[in-house]
Structure 1
Amino acid sequence: MGDEIIEEQNWKQKLLFYITAFFVLLGIFSLFSFLFLVPFVIDPAFTTIFMEFDEKPAFCVTVKIQRLLGASNCSWTSCREGCTKDIYDCTQIFVTYKILPNDTYANTSLSWSTMATVESPFARHEKALLDDYDYESETFTGLQPNTSEWHYREARLLPNVKGCGYPPSLNCSNWLKNYTTVGTNFSCYYSKIDPGLVMSDLNMIQVYMNLVYAMCIPIPSFIVSVIYLAIAYFKIYTDDEEAAPLEKNAEDIDVEGENEINQTPVPPASGGITPGSEAFREDLASFGHHFKVAMVDDISRDSLVDGVINSVSMGGSIGKTMTTSISTTGGPVADI
């Protein structure tokens, strides 16, 4: 019975240990993964949403390329390998874009490569713009007046809202090759909040999904881990620590009871004898017996001496006296 209880306790303790270790690791990995995702996924996703990029593509033309060296000259770059990398060599791409009417998108695709092969009205309009547009005719940059054919001149072109590329999904070297030729035309997406910011690619569904994955998995996992660890610390382990001494005392009492049943009783030490105890009465009776024996010995010696004296004076009566003295005593002399 005792072995079964011990085995059950050991099984429960092991299970509790593994569950606690799992939630500790889950909380640690959730926290670090969330901290890792903040600069790479969460912040770019929120920025993309807040900048309110128009999901309808605009018509962009590369009009200016700048390559600068030095950290002081590179305040921004069109594409860099990682957002945490310091910028010492930057390539800045400026584009001019035009917002096309809504009916233009009816028979066109979002890919300019498709437009180049399909003779749509949009593609013919694009070719006419490339042939007739004079890139140096505009005298100022930024938002153009309503009379201008273009909406914005020399906007910054980025692959995404942060301008960061992470191979293999985005290789900045390959991306720059596609857009660093003056006169290159392509579809782009401008920001309604900052019209001077243009992206070459936009997928709002993917942006929302990345945000959901980055927040709805690490944060709830961390919260659940913290709640379990708090309950385990203040409730489970506290109850176990309080119950452990009681169980140990109960086992000790059971063991002592079994030992008392199997062993013969041993009289307690004299220091623990009370006047009403059985041991005290036994000791008292034994003491009285020895005291009587001692008194009889003393009386026998005195009688023996008197008997000898009387036998000398009376002559011939010593045998009777000795016989009387020996027969009347109950001590050791009588035994002799």
Structure 2
Amino acid sequence: MGEQGPEKQTWKQKILFYITAFFVLLGTFSLFSFLFLVPFVIDPAFTTIFMEFDESPALCVTVDTERRQGASNCTWTSCREGCTKEIYQCTQIRVNYKRNVTENYTLATTETIPASASARQERALRDDYDYMFDKKESEEEYLNEVEPTGLMGDDSEWYYTGAKLFPNVKGCGYPPMLNCSIFYKNYQDLGTNFTCYYSRVDPGLVISHLDMWQVYMNLVYAMAIPIPSFILSVIYLTFAYFKIYNDDEEKAPLKNNAEEMDVGDENVPETILQPTSERLTPASEAFREDLAGFGHHFKVAMADELSKESLADGVVNSISIQG
């Protein structure tokens, strides 16, 4: 027999292959997209929700802007483009804010500190700090004594002084959604007035923009698409592995054995391939031939036995006569 060529796939096998490949790719991309969205979308969204930002805008005024260098000095920065990169140069913006004001009231009643006055005030603080350097441990400690920072309450002019300003809860992002150069240009100048949003959990944390509806929608999109897609892929692949492909593997040996039996039956004599019922029927020709053959062989066997017995008796009698 010649060698058989490669088995040709059926339409069912081809469709099954493409469906399985689709779910493998869907599960892979869903998993990697979810891992990518965790630090950039899911974690900031959950943090924004847990920090409980007041959606009523507050009035913020920039009171301090510092530029620092070195990893030890840059423990935080108001804005950075890239949430995973190390910070070696930072710009720290601090603001004072008061609650229960509207944007119109803010723009109409709040006086902006002139830039020259702000510069004079900053230089005066620096000169005092240089003079008192031998008596103070740090610049931040001295500035806290000159102008106390922290929660003042609604009875004071400012509800909180010296709060950290960020564009969002993480203070990071990527252009064009977040451009730190534009952010610093808008908020770094001393005396700048703008609306802001403070955290009820940490009043010292202030962000310049807040859209809770967009935060919830980003969280839904980041979780409602990758997670169900990955679960659906796992369910299908598990079912295909234990049910579809397992049944095909069990049927394949039975099919091969049946083909081998069909090929082997071609070399069997025609008399052997006759149905069992036909050979066992008393009226059939095959039964009569077998019965006749059996009778013939039985007669031959009986004759051989008789001849052997007579021969043995003759030998014994001849021996006894000679004796």
- TM-score w.r.t. length of structure 2: 0.69
Matched, 1:28 2:28: yes
1:47 aligns with 2:55: no
1:219 & 1:66 partners in 2: Cα distance?
43
**Corresponding letter in the other structure for 1:228:** Y
3-state SS in 2 of match to 1:194: coil
User: Which of these residues, 166, 169, 173, is aligned with residue 177 of structure 2?
Assistant: 169
CA deviation vs aligned residue, 1:67-105 (integer Å, no higher than 9, x gap): 11000111000001111010000000000011125xxx4
Deviation, 1:32, is 0.7
Partner Cα separation in structure 1 for residue 24 and residue 244 of structure 2:
15
Distance 2:49 2:105 in 1: 31
Q: Which runs of 5+ in 2 are unaligned?
A: 1-6, 126-144, 273-288, 301-323
Alignment of 1:181-200 (within 5 A): 181-200=189-208
Residue equivalent to 1:178: 186
Deviations 1:267-289 (Å, cap 9, x if unpaired)?
Answer: xxxxxxxxxx97xx6xx99xx9x
| In 1, Cα distance between equivalents of 2:33 and 2:11 | 33
Q: C-alpha separation between the residues in 2 aligned to 1:235 and 1:249? A: 22
Give the corresponding residue for 1:208. Answer: 216
Q: Deviations over 1:240-272 (max 9, x none)?
A: 000111122223334445x359x8779xxxxxx
Tell me which residue corresponds to 2:242. 234
How many matched pairs? Answer: 249
TM-aligned CA deviation for residue 18 of structure 1? 1.0
What SS is found at the alignment partner of 2:110?
helix
Q: Give the secondary structure class of the aligned counterpart of 1:67.
A: strand
Q: Aligned partners of 1:175 and 1:21: how far apart in 2?
A: 46
Map of 2:14 onto structure 1? 14
Q: How far 1:11 moved relative to its partner?
A: 1.5
**Is 1:123 the equivalent of 2:131?**
no
C-alpha spacing 1:213/1:76, structure 2 compared with 1 (3 Å): same
CA distance in 2, matches of 1:212, 1:46: 11
Matches within 5 A, 1:1-336: 10-101=10-101, 105=102, 120-127=104-111, 139-257=147-265, 259=266
Partner-residue secondary structure (3-state), 1:153: strand
Question: Could you say what secondary structure the match of 1:211 adopts?
Answer: helix
Distance 1:55 1:265 in 2: 96
CA–CA distance in structure 2, aligned partners of residues 20 and 147 of structure 1: 67
**Shift of residue 186 of structure 1?**
0.5
The one-letter code matched in structure 2 to 1:181 is D
Find the counterpart in structure 2 of residue 113 from structure 1: none
Following the alignment from structure 1 to structure 2, what is the Cα–Cα distance between the partners of residues 238 and 254?
25
Deviation at 1:183, TM superposition (A): 0.6
The CA deviation string for residues 188-224 of structure 1, in whole angstroms up to 9 with x for no partner, is 0000000000000000000000000111111111111
Alpha-carbon distance between aligned partners in 1 of 2:10 and 2:55, rounded to the nearest angstrom = 61
Q: Distance in 1 between matches of 2:146 and 2:54?
A: 25
* In 1, Cα distance between equivalents of 2:107 and 2:73: 38
Distance 1:121 1:47, change over 3 A: closer
**C-alpha displacement of 1:176:** 0.9
Shift of 1:122: 4.3
CA distance, structure 2, for counterparts of residue 71 and residue 168 of structure 1: 26
Q: CA deviation at 1:138?
A: 6.9
SS of residue in 2 equivalent to 1:84? coil
- How far apart are 1:126 and its partner, in Å? 2.2
CA contact (8 A) 2:168 2:210 kept: yes
Q: How far off its partner does 1:15 sit?
A: 1.2
What CA RMSD, in Å, does the superposition of the two structures yield over aligned residues? 3.0
CA distance in 1, matches of 2:180, 2:59: 22
Deviations along 1:148-202, whole A, 9 cap, x unmatched? 1110001000000000020111111121111110011111000000000000000
- Runs of 5+ consecutive residues of structure 1 not aligned to the other structure: 1-5, 109-119, 267-276, 289-336
Contact 2:164/2:205 (8 A) holds in 1: yes
Which amino acid is the alignment partner of residue 64 of structure 1? D
Query: 2:110 corresponds to which letter in structure 1?
Result: E
Of structures 1 and 2, the larger Rg is shown by 1
